[in-house]
């Protein structure tokens, strides 16, 4: 008996004992039965299909299970451990739509981009979108959805802002938490990403973000903290960049002390794809799984184990968490996925959700369109709507409804005179752009710039003015992973401005109106031209039903209720972060960054000198004029706020306000609760968002009392000297805002002093 106990796991298999099976035996037993080699294989993925980087003979397993998914875990058949599938996110599932020798298709729904979802200020709605996304993940056979992405919009030019939510951590965290709850209600996992400080694409795999402990805690980590505490995501994805000198995936302070010990995270941490440079350091930090997995990482871990710089116990901690993840996956439960998610139902979900996140920026009464039958459309993007950005956040959808299609679907007579020329123009410019790329560049990743616009000749334009009741001009922008946007992309091009001026002059001359639709993924300059057209609708990149959603707003089928989750500054350089952001480092659009840029400021090292003064916190502090403030958005109706009240019982702050629809059409209103702290020891922002809520659709004359709550501990600021969260005693003012610069009423409540120490200081180096 004694002898049998001493036999190794591998030997047990040889003598014919059935090895413990994951899902049947306890995790402890399965873990004990694993050989050291199996353990090391298990914590790294199976390599990326098509890349010669595999850690084992199973390279390409991704291909076999769900083609086009981003990664798979290492299977160990003898222990009943299947390979589970990890797939992107976040605007819908990203898998290959077509498979060789298979007549079926595997298209997924392209839902609105993250920024649009955040602009809904509607957590229930985001949860319902997450639920629909999760169903596609489940029914297409994936196990973990690599989403949501919630990095802070530190600067308008970050190329991946479209995937992210907001300049404010409460909006980012609440939106992500709702999304996670929705997706995971399908018994599949999520991976909240990119943890953390991944705020630029330029040199993203090498950039060292130098950030004060206070800014880390209050701005860049806060959204993740909220998401972890409010939605229990199955996994977290660490980011590519370094924080204060250490790769995030190799920072035990971040991955273990903050995430697990302080916030109570129980799930698994995986790297971003090929992130970091030392597999052993990642395991030691508690970064449980390395994706997609390389031979080098396998060797690094084995070498560290042999040298004794990494112990098997440390490895086991990660192995256990990998086992726990696989054990809860649909794959282990042998879920018989249908490959037939309800794409029709989800098309309705994306259409409805998109229209609630569109933001009406200007309206001199032209919207909703009345007595309009004939519509002239301009701007090449009108005929080729951008559903979302590029890179891993792209979704292989079956179609995208353009503005042209949307207007036609709603029964308008649309003047198509510009259509053929525009589509040809788009194709020509895209081809020229691709041809201009250096040979060594991966052209498939490039967000092809929007075309330089076509301006109708005076004769054609005159005919269009005569034949139509209104003009709609779409300006489009595309951006994506690997690239930051350029300062040129931030402003309207000369040709776009000329189109706007030419069309507006011609229509206004005969008292006809002009509407601008912005089909963009990030902030652009608006101050210099916003008074030219009669209305501006910020449609964002609204997913595959975009044109229908825009039309629902234009016609007034729904009143707009989206509000900005970020500030639109007057000038790019007004944002404090612009002083330390790689602006124009990629002007000549180049993959990741130009080689000659390495070593330059904000390429290798980015100092977040603005500290906590990101977004409205900065514009408020400086009392700067902005083009559109954080939280701003118009409606077709009006709302009145009354009966503000706030109570603090020491655990929870409870605020109430009554909102009445005082206009003539139905609508929803997003109410923002900001707090203004009493003078204390720390420098505090003028105000900070603490909670928000949206009314139901209120009929004209109808009222609703909204209740907004948050933990009293959230009144704290981070005191670096004490490495503790501190609530100052005193009277706090609570501001109920329609936007950050439109405070409708206030109330006060007192708080007592409180201090919560943290476990680590997250030192600057």
For the bound state, the minimum distance from the C-beta of residue 248 to ligand BGC, rounded and expressed in Å, comes to 12
Q: How far apart are CA 446 and CA 440, in angstroms?
A: 13
In the list 40, 55, 61, 70, the residue contacting ligand BGC (rule: CB under 6 A) is 70
Instruction: Report DSSP letters for 376-403, one per residue.
Output: EEESGGGGS---S-BSTT----S----H
Q: Is 158 exposed, middle or buried (0-12, 13-18, 19+ CB in 10 A)?
A: buried
Q: Which is nearer to ligand BGC, 70 or 372 (CB)?
A: 70
Q: Which is nearer to ligand BGC, 69 or 171 (CB)?
A: 69
Q: Which is nearer to ligand BGC, 51 or 494 (CB)?
A: 51
In the list 41, 154, 174, 193, the residue contacting ligand BGC (rule: CB under 6 A) is 193
Q: How far apart are CA 222 and CA 215, in angstroms?
A: 10
Q: Which is nearer to ligand BGC, 238 or 567 (CB)?
A: 238
Asked if 119 and 318 count as a contact pair (C-beta separation under 8 A), the reply is no
Strand pairing class (652-661; 639-648): antiparallel
For the bound state, the minimum distance from the C-beta of residue 762 to ligand BGC, rounded and expressed in Å, comes to 23
* Residue 143 touches ligand BGC, criterion: CB under 6 A: no
Residues 6+ apart with CB under 8 A from 506: 461, 462, 465
For the bound state, the minimum distance from the C-beta of residue 163 to ligand BGC, rounded and expressed in Å, comes to 8
Nearest CA among 389, 357, 397 for reference residue 175: 357
Nearest CA among 677, 757, 673, 678 for reference residue 720: 757
In the list 392, 578, 648, 676, the residue contacting ligand BGC (rule: CB under 6 A) is 392
Nearest CA among 519, 444, 452, 518 for reference residue 482: 444
* Residue 146 touches ligand BGC, criterion: CB under 6 A: yes
For the bound state, the minimum distance from the C-beta of residue 231 to ligand BGC, rounded and expressed in Å, comes to 18
Asked if 288 and 326 count as a contact pair (C-beta separation under 8 A), the reply is no
Q: Which is nearer to ligand BGC, 148 or 633 (CB)?
A: 148
Q: Which is nearer to ligand BGC, 97 or 556 (CB)?
A: 97
Residues 244-283 that bind ligand BGC (CB under 6 A): 272-273
For the bound state, the minimum distance from the C-beta of residue 650 to ligand BGC, rounded and expressed in Å, comes to 40
For the bound state, the minimum distance from the C-beta of residue 448 to ligand BGC, rounded and expressed in Å, comes to 19
For the bound state, the minimum distance from the C-beta of residue 263 to ligand BGC, rounded and expressed in Å, comes to 21
* Residue 145 touches ligand BGC, criterion: CB under 6 A: no
Residue in 88, 143, 253, 272 annotated catalytic: 272
For the bound state, the minimum distance from the C-beta of residue 148 to ligand BGC, rounded and expressed in Å, comes to 10
Look up 52 and say whether it is catalytic. Answer: no
SS3 (DSSP) at 191: strand
What are the b/e assignments for 609-648, b being 16+ CB within 10 Å?
ebbbbbbbbbbbbeebebbbbbbbbbbbbbbebeebebeb
Task: Give the containing element (helix H, strand E) for 123.
Answer: helix 123-139
Q: How far apart are CA 675 and CA 690, in angstroms?
A: 7
Asked if 192 and 227 count as a contact pair (C-beta separation under 8 A), the reply is yes
Q: Which is nearer to ligand BGC, 384 or 484 (CB)?
A: 484
* Residue 135 touches ligand BGC, criterion: CB under 6 A: no
Size of residue set near ligand BGC by CB under 6 A: 8
Asked if 114 and 164 count as a contact pair (C-beta separation under 8 A), the reply is yes
Q: Which is nearer to ligand BGC, 53 or 261 (CB)?
A: 53
* Residue 534 touches ligand BGC, criterion: CB under 6 A: no
Residues 78-117 that bind ligand BGC (CB under 6 A): 88
Residues 409-468 that bind ligand BGC (CB under 6 A): none
Q: Measured on CA atoms in the order 406, 407, 412, 417, is the torsion positive or negative? A: negative
Q: How far apart are CA 38 and CA 319, in angstroms?
A: 10
Residues 6+ apart with CB under 8 A from 284: 250, 252, 304, 310, 314
Applying CB under 6 A, the residues found at the interface with ligand BGC are 70, 88, 146, 193, 272-273, 392, 481
Residues with catalytic annotation? 272
């Amino acid at each position: 008996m004694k002898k049998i106990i001493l036999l190794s796991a591998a030997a047990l298999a040889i003598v014919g004992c059935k090895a413990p099976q994951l899902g049947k035996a306890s995790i402890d037993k399965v873990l004990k039965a694993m050989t050291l080699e199996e353990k090391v294989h298990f914590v790294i993925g199976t390599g990326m299909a098509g890349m010669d980087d595999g850690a084992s003979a199973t390279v390409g397993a991704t291909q076999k299970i769900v083609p086009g998914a981003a990664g798979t875990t290492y299977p160990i058949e003898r222990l009943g451990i299947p390979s589970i599938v990890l797939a992107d996110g976040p605007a819908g599932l990203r898998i290959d739509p077509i498979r060789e020798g298979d007549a079926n298709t595997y298209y997924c729904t392209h839902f609105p981009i993250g920024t649009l979802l955040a602009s809904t200020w509607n957590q229930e709605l985001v949860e319902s979108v997450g639920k629909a996304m999760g169903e596609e993940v489940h029914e297409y056979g994936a196990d973990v959805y690599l989403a949501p992405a919630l990095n802070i919009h530190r600067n308008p030019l970050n190329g991946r802002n479209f995937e992210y939510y907001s300049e404010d951590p409460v909006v980012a965290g609440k939106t992500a938490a709702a999304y996670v709850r929705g997706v995971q209600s399908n018994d599949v996992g999520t991976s909240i990403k990119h943890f953390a400080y991944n705020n630029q694409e330029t040199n993203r795999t090498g950039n060292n973000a130098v950030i004060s402990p206070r800014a880390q805690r209050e701005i860049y980590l806060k959204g993740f903290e909220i998401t972890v505490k409010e939605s229990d995501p199955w996994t977290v994805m660490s980011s590519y960049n370094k924080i204060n000198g250490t790769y995030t995936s190799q920072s035990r302070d971040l991955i273990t002390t903050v995430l697990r010990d302080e916030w109570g995270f129980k799930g698994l941490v995986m790297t971003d794809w090929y992130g970091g440079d030392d597999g052993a350091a990642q395991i030691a930090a508690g970064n449980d799984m390395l994706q997609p997995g390389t031979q080098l990482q396998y060797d690094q871990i084995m070498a560290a184990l042999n040298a004794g710089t990494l112990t098997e116990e440390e490895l086991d901690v990660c192995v256990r968490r990998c086992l726990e993840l696989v054990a809860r996956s649909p794959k282990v439960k042998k879920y018989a996925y249908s490959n037939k998610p309800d794409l029709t139902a989800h098309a309705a979900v994306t259409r409805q959700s998109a229209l609630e996140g569109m933001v009406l920026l200007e309206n001199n009464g032209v919207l909703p369109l009345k007595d309009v039958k004939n519509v002239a459309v301009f701007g090449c993007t009108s005929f080729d709507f951008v559903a979302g950005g590029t890179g891993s956040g792209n979704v292989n959808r079956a179609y995208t409804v353009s503005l042209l299609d949307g207007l036609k679907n709603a029964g308008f007579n649309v003047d198509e005179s510009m259509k053929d020329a525009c589509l040809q123009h788009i194709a020509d410019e895209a081809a020229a752009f691709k041809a201009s790329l250096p040979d060594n560049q991966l052209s498939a990743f490039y967000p092809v710039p929007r075309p330089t616009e076509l301006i109708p000749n005076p004769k054609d334009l005159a005919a269009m003015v005569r034949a139509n009741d209104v003009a709609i001009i779409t300006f489009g922008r595309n951006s994506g992973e690997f690239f930051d946007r350029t300062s040129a992309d931030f402003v309207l091009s000369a040709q776009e401005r000329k189109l706007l001026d030419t069309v507006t002059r011609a229509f206004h001359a005969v008292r006809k109106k002009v509407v601008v639709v912005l089909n963009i993924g990030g902030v652009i300059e608006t101050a210099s031209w916003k008074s030219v057209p009669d209305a501006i609708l910020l449609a964002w990149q609204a997913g595959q039903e975009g044109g229908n959603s825009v039309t629902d707003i234009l016609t007034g089928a729904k009143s707009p209720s989206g509000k900005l989750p970020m500030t639109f500054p007057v000038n790019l350089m007004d944002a404090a972060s612009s002083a330390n952001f790689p602006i124009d480092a990629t002007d000549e659009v180049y993959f990741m960054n130009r080689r000659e840029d390495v070593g330059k400021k904000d390429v290798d090292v980015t100092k977040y000198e603005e500290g906590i003064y990101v977004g409205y916190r900065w514009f408020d502090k400086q009392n700067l004029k902005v083009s559109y403030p954080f939280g701003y958005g118009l409606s077709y109706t009006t709302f009145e706020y009354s009966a503000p009240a706030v109570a603090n019982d020491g655990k929870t702050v409870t605020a109430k306000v009554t909102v009445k629809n005082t206009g003539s059409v139905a609508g929803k209103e997003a109410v923002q609760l900001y707090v203004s702290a009493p003078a204390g020891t720390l420098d505090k922002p003028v105000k900070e968002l603490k909670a928000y809520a949206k009314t139901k659709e209120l009929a004209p004359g109808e009222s609703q009392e909204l209740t907004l709550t948050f933990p009293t501990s959230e009144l704290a600021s981070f005191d670096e000297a004490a490495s503790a969260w501190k609530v100052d005693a005193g009277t706090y003012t609570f501001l109920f805002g329609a936007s950050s610069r439109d405070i409708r009423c206030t109330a006060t409540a007192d708080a007592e002093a409180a201090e919560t120490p943290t476990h680590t200081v997250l030192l600057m180096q």
